[in-house]
Each structure stands twice: as structure tokens, then as C-alpha cells.
Amino acid sequence: MPKFVVEGGHPLSGTIRPAGNKNAALPIIAATLLTEEEVVLENVPHIRDVRTLLELLGVLGAEVEWLDNNSVRVRAAEVGVNELDAEMAAKIRASILLAGPMLARAGRMMLPPPGGDVIGRRRVDTHFLALTKLGATVKADRGYMIETTGLKGADIFLDEPSVTATENAVMAATLAKGHTRLRNAAAEPHVQDLCHMLNGLGAKISGIGTGILEIEGVDRLHGGRFRISSDHIEVGSFIGLAAVTGGEILIEDAAVEHLDSILLAFERMGVVCEARGRDLFVAADQERVIRMDLGGHIPKIDDGPWPAFPADLTSIALVVATQCRGTILIYEKMFESRMFFADKLISMGARIVLCDPHRAVVVGPSRLRAAPVESPDIRAGMALLIAALGAEGKSDLYNVGQIERGYERIDERLRALGAHITRTDSRGD
């Protein structure tokens, strides 16, 4: 198994460009099943989750070809298989995104339980409630058998603003007969990207970026070309990287239009960024003093549905807070296991009180020291990598395949900023 050997204590400086949005690429790849014609996708992150989903499309009968390192051609002229291999589906959470398009295209899908990060219970009920409203039947046993004799538009209220459930419902409704009104829909940048991509193929979706999506079903979609937006979660990770290492980083094509809540949260910790057109500049030697709430009360950073602070960045915020003067509460509301990696930061010298599965109080700054740590999931893994880059000494970071599921060639890209990081076999072979 590979690991990263990281020598910390070196400020990282230079220019970096975020990859395409992973959480947009996955539903967009799934959406290529909705048309028989060729679709070319650009700015696709070349990461493990994307490769796995493309393999699943190939199993279903689609032609898949990488045109270059970040461009993919997909043509699903015929979809002859409607049952996924359980072992392959268990590799990624995104396998569930095939439910909507396969239901619309083939009328039937046998879906094994999806995999993904172990960050708490991740219910799938909302997906199937929405698809049932559109005319599907769902039978659950060791997997999920979904079938329909024809999808019809409906007025749907999601019981939670689930990103992937919204995406599944939108994809299915695109080819349903009649009008669909999807209320309490997720509005994250990746949901917006999917809707714009579908409209580019001939779909009729309005309300993009809001909690109510209106979809007028069409008979068919045509082919096309779409460029996936920059990953705002990577941008937030790079802001945290600059803050913890004390470096000066210019983030190109930073999706600035999606950063309002992210920049506010970092400013609360004394980390200020400067927008330069489509780029974002993070200066060295940030103040890194936590701004107290009025009356001297302890502030908090908490996540929520878009446009609130993204849950995927709470792990990064936790690490940044360890290097800021003052006390702050990090409150992760969505997943009950995401904060458990705090014990690894404590072993590196961080002063953190884990109050419960969702809340951690951080008192900073702490002098981080090198330690052997293991990545439990994508985002916690990136947070631990940032901590190791800011720590004194040499750290071994294990299970880096988790990080590489979400961050493309991260070791190479960070070395270009001056990081002392080596990818090697964890057994030392």
C-alpha cells in the first residue's frame, strides 16, 4: 500500500490550479447515459472515483475513451446491461447516480448497495422516494431493484436537500413525460454544473442555483461537449494549505463565484484572501487570529446545505484552526463520523476537545509535530496531509489511496509549490 512521507515546516509558495469538480464530474458522467449520441467532457479530474465510474459505464455498454489526461469521450449508443457488479459498485458512493439515468433510459436497474467514505450513515431513502414519485417501483433486499413502465413528471418535495438525490431526480425527470417540480432541491455548484450540462444536451431545466428546480421532460437528448467547473473544495483546501504552512499561493481559475461562505469562514480565523478576477491570492504571514463574536463569545464554523459552508471543508477548517490564536467551535452537522480523525491531530500536538461526534472545540495555536497517521477518508486525509506539511519533522501518512480518490496527482502538484513529499510503498519495499 502506498504512503506519503512528508517533511513539514516548509512554507509552500507558487501558483496552483484546482482540478475539475469531482462532485460535478461523477453525476455528469452518469448523465451521459441519457443520450445515444457522443458526449465529450473536459476538465475531468483523473482520479480513482472517476475511473471507477467510467468502468461501470463500460460494463453497462457505453463506449468510453480518454482523449487526453482530462478529457473523456462517452457514447452510450446501446445500454445492454442493467445490473452492476456488486464489488465494483461498492468501491464508490457515486454508483447510486446510475439509478436515475438507467431508469430513464432502460426502465430497469439492479443497483447493489453503494460504497464511499465511512463518515457516518448515508441514507438512500430520498433517492428512491423521488424516483417513486416519478413512477418507479423499488424493491430492497441485498440491493435495490428499480423498475418503471414509464416515467411521468410530478411535484416532488425532497425530505432533505440531498445533493445526489437531487441529481438522480433531475436526470430521471429530464426524460420523463410532462412537468416536474423539484422542491427542497440541493443547489451546490456541482448540482448547477449537472443542470447546465443537461441543458446543453437539450434538456429544459430552470431554477438552477435555487431550491426549486422546474424540469420539462423531453423525448430525447442529443450529444455535445461540456467543461466541468473548478473544484471549490480543492480551492478551500489550498487556502488551508497556505494558511497552515505560512506560504503565498495564487489559485488560478478558482471558481470565485462559489466562495462566499468559504471565504467568510476563513476570515473568521484570520485568513484573508484576495480575488483577482477569476483567480484567488492567499498572502503569506496571515494574521491567523480568530475573530470573536460580539460580546466576546466563542465563534463557530458550521456547515449546512448550499450556500452555507460545505461539509467537505470542515476537516480542513479544523486543521487551520489549530494554527490560529484563539478558541473556535467546529460544528459538522451532517455526518456523525467525519470528526473522529481529530484524535490523529491531537497525537500531532493539536489542542482539540471532541465534544461529541459533531462538535470540536479548538484552542490555538498549537505547535504540530510529525507523527505516523492514516487517512480515514478523502477530506480527513487531505486535512492530515496539510497538518503534516505544517508540522515539525517527518510524518508518514498511510492509506493515501483515500486522498487520491478525490485529489488528482496531489503529491506532484504540491511538490511544485515546494512541498517535501514523497510517495512510496508503506512496507518500505
* Catalytic machinery residues: 117
In the block, residue with C-alpha cell 467514505: 117
Secondary structure (H, E, C), the chain: CEEEEEECCCCCCEEECCCECHHHHHHHHHHHHHCCCEEEEECCCCCHHHHHHHHHHHHHCCEEEEEECCEEEEECCCCCCCECCHHHHCCCHHHHHHHHHHHHHHCEEEECCCCCCCCCCCCCHHHHHHHHHCCCEEEECCCEEEECCCCECCEEECCCCCHHHHHHHHHHHHCCECEEEEECCCCCHHHHHHHHHHHHCCCEEECCCCCEEEEECCCCCCCEEEECCECHHHHHHHHHHHHHHCCCEEECCCCHHHCHHHHHHHHHCCCCEEEECCEEEECCCCCCECCCECCCECCEEEECCCCCECHHHHHHHHHHHCCCEEEEEEECCCCCCHHHHHHHHHHCCCEEEEEECCEEEEEECCCCECCCEECCCHHHHHHHHHHHHHCECEEEEECCHHHHCCCCCHHHHHHCCCCEEEEEECCCC
Cell for 354?
A: 471532541
The Cα–Cα gap between 198 and 211 comes to 18
Contact 329, 210 (CB under 8 A): no
The Cα–Cα gap between 316 and 297 comes to 23
